[in-house]
């Protein structure tokens, strides 16, 4: 069935959204086969984002782990993360639909900044929903969005984080669908969003595969990425899914530890359920109530995950692991000192899994990390965390 990944995905939405999703699906299916659309998309990725992003070595991190490490540098993109790849693709679709008002949800603020940036460039109205807790944690990104001309709407319901911001954005969309496109920030939501966002992010994996081959003449042994909603991970995995000898690893946030109940390890500790329009693994209690998620990193504290990851987990094509707050904070500092790169705190979870897995690879093997974003926006938050015993 279209829009499903095995049993996962689908469309669990109010009737008012069905026509809009049908229109979007029809347009996207047409656009997928339209070489002109992709030429425009790739021209904008070059011009606005600065793609292709670099592939770097990480010799000192590699020495510590005992293997070769390569970094796909999405942190070097304009606005500092992979999110803008998707924002540009969806803004192009909105333009084709004649919709001039854009809404988005954001957690850490990176997707909001990417969307506000693209809206400024295209001359579109932009409204970003953000939980009040995240507004406080990520003040710099809030101000950045406002500078870019976006309206940031603080959300005070529920846990006042990403899940609630997404609810509010969906509510807005239901009301304003004739004029408004919803640029969802990850491979979540009802069909066609998960496959559409995947296709826009697959540029990461397609570029990385060619760059790794050009550098060393062979494929990496392992590809590692952090998983929030799962878009940077799906994006880099997309380049290697057909290469069955390449191990794929997604790293979730274990927060204060899975046993504590305060975590965001949806694939490691959740069960299938419906959130934000699709069926996927979900943190929920015995009655099916969605459980609050925790992570030291804003934006990772999301109780759901993209449906394609649920399928890749069940099929065992991808291995999912979880890293706690303390290990992520340690990896954040380690990466800065060893490689001169301050990674996003989210990305630090994947780095921590690599250092924890020392001994898994020999010196001739290669591990490719999706360095999904830079950590400038996290520095103040980390400074506080490192002073507080938690």
Ligand X SMILES: *Cc1c(COP(=O)(O)O)cnc(C)c1O
Catalytic residues: 83, 105, 372
User: Which positions from 171 through 210 interact with ligand X, judged by CB under 6 A?
Assistant: 186
Could you say which of 56, 141, 372, 385 contacts ligand X (CB under 6 A)?
372
Closer by beta carbon to ligand X, 52 or else 299? 299
Q: Binding pattern to ligand X, positions 106-145, x when CB under 6 A?
A: --x-xx----------------------------------
Q: Which residues contact 106 (CB under 8 A, 6 or more apart)?
A: 112, 113, 115, 128, 129, 130, 134, 141, 145, 162, 165, 185, 299
111 within 8 A of 105, measured Cβ to Cβ? yes
230 part of the interface to ligand X, by CB under 6 A: yes
Q: Nearer to ligand X by C-beta: 10 or 230?
A: 230
Tell whether residue 159 is a contact of ligand X (CB under 6 A).
no
**Shortest Cβ 305–ligand X spacing (Å):** 8
Alpha-carbon torsion angle 35, 198, 373, 381, nearest 10: 140
Closest to ligand X by CB, 177 or 354: 354
Rg (CA), the chain: 19
Smaller CB separation from ligand X, 11 or 349: 349
β-pair partners for 324: 255
Residue from 81, 119, 150, 329 in contact with ligand X (CB under 6 A): 81
Whether 227 contacts 328, CB under 8 Å: no
Contact between 83 and ligand X per CB under 6 A? yes
**Of 106 and 284, which has the nearer Cβ to ligand X?**
106
CB 174 to ligand X: min, Å: 23
Q: Given candidates 165, 265, 275, 346, which one binds ligand X under the rule CB under 6 A?
A: 346
The footprint of ligand X on residues 232-271 (CB under 6 A) is 232-233
- The span from the CA of 34 to the CA of 177, in Å, is 25
Question: Which of these ranges, 20-28, 33-41, 50-58, 227-235, lies near ligand X under the rule CB under 6 A?
Answer: 227-235
- DSSP letter assigned to residue 272: E
Q: Which residue in the shown chain puts its C-beta closest to ligand X?
A: 373
* 53 belongs to the binding site for ligand X (CB under 6 A): no
- Give me the torsion for CA of 177, 183, 185, 188, rounded to 10°: 50
The footprint of ligand X on this chain (CB under 6 A) covers a number of residues equal to 20
The nearest distance, CB 186 to ligand X, in angstroms, is 3
- The encoded tokens of residue 108 equal 């850490």
Q: Which is nearer to ligand X, 126 or 233 (CB)?
A: 233
Question: How many angstroms separate the Cα of 157 from the Cα of each of 122, 152, 154, 175?
Answer: 31, 15, 10, 18
Residue 344 touching ligand X (CB under 6 A): yes
Measured CA to CA, the distance from residue 54 to residue 77 in angstroms comes to 9
Could you tell me the CA-to-CA distances from 205 to 200, 236, 248, 368, 378 in Å, in that order?
Answer: 11, 4, 12, 10, 25
CB of residue 28 to ligand X, shortest distance in Å: 19
Q: Which parts of 265-324 interact with ligand X (CB under 6 A)?
A: 299
Q: What is the DSSP string of 20-59?
A: HHHHHHHHHHHHHT-HHHHHHHHHHIIIII-PSPPEEE-H
Q: Are 77 and 204 in contact (CB under 8 A)?
A: no
Residues near ligand X (CB under 6 A) are 81, 83, 108, 110-111, 186, 226-233, 299, 344, 346-347, 372-373
């Amino acid at each position: 069935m279209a829009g499903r990944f095995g049993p996962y995905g689908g469309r669990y939405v109010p009737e008012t959204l069905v026509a809009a999703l049908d229109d979007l699906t029809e347009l996207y299916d047409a656009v997928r086969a339209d070489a002109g659309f992709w030429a425009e998309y790739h021209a904008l990725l070059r011009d606005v984002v600065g793609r292709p992003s670099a592939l770097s070595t990480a010799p000192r991190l590699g020495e510590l782990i005992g293997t070769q490490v390569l970094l796909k540098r999405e942190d070097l993109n304009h606005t500092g993360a992979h999110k803008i790849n998707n924002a540009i693709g969806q803004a192009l679709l909105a333009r084709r639909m004649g919709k001039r008002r854009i809404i988005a949800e954001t957690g850490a603020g990176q997707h909001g900044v990417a969307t506000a940036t693209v809206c400024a460039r295209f001359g579109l109205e932009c409204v970003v929903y953000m939980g009040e807790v995240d507004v406080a944690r990520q003040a710099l990104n809030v101000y950045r969005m406002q500078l870019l001309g976006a309206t940031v709407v603080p959300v005070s319901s529920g846990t006042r984080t990403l899940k609630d911001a997404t609810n509010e954005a969906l509510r807005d969309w239901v009301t304003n669908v004739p004029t408004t496109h919803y640029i969802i920030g990850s491979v979540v939501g009802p069909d066609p969003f998960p496959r559409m966002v995947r296709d826009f992010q697959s540029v990461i994996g397609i570029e990385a595969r060619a760059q790794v081959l050009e550098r060393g003449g062979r494929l990496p042994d392992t590809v590692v990425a952090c998983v929030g909603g799962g878009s940077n991970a799906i994006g880099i995995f997309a380049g290697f899914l057909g290469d069955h000898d390449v191990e794929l690893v997604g790293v979730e946030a274990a927060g204060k530890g899975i046993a504590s109940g305060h975590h965001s390890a949806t694939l490691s500790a959740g069960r299938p359920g419906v959130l934000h329009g699709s069926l996927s693994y979900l943190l929920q209690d015995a009655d099916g109530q969605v459980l609050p998620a925790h992570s030291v990193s804003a934006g990772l504290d999301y109780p759901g995950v993209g449906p394609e990851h649920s399928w890749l987990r069940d099929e065992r094509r991808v291995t999912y692991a979880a890293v706690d707050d303390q290990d992520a904070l340690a990896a954040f500092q380690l990466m800065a000192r060893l490689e001169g790169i301050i990674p996003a705190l989210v990305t630090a979870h994947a780095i921590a899994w690599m250092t924890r897995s020392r001994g898994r690879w020999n010196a001739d093997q290669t591990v490719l990390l999706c360095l999904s974003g830079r950590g400038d926006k996290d520095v103040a938050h980390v400074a506080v965390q490192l002073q507080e015993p938690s």
